[in-house]
Amino acid sequence: DADVTQTPRNRITKTGKRIMLECSQTKGHDRMYWYRQDPGLGLRLIYYSFDVKDINKGEISDGYSVSRQAQAKFSLSLESAIPNQTALYFCATSLLGRDAGELFFGEGSRLTVL
């Protein structure tokens, strides 16, 4: 089983619908992230959380919200999906500390908004 698990892996929805992407991890890491990948743009940070009580906006948080339900769970919500939110979404985790800044990624959730 993957250390960082995302559900669903693929989702097609319509404009205006509420969507939740879920992420769970068994790595025991404190830090969790949501990134969005668009062709040619690399990965852009949406939200990040350094522990259960700490939530921070990333580069492109507008239109998204998150919830850190437990150390191991971090979900991303689109309250009212729009077509330009069509993208591949990745959850990632990392340890604390400068020397452990390496990210560990989930398999990705491909979202299509019609």
Give the residues lining the site for another protein (CB under 8 A).
31, 35, 40-45, 48, 50, 90, 94, 98-108
Of 2 and 82, nearer to another protein (C-beta) is 2
- For residue 111, the one-letter residue type is L
Of 53 and 98, nearer to another protein (C-beta) is 98
Closest by CA position to 107, among listed 48, 32, 23, 46 = 23
Of 16 and 101, nearer to another protein (C-beta) is 101
Q: Closest distance between another protein and the C-beta of residue 40, in Å?
A: 6
- Find how far residue 8's CA is from the centre of its chain: 12
Q: Closest distance between another protein and the C-beta of residue 56, in Å?
A: 9
State the maximum Cα–Cα separation within the chain, in Å, rounded to a whole number.
Answer: 42
Rounded Cα distance, 36 and 90, in Å: 6
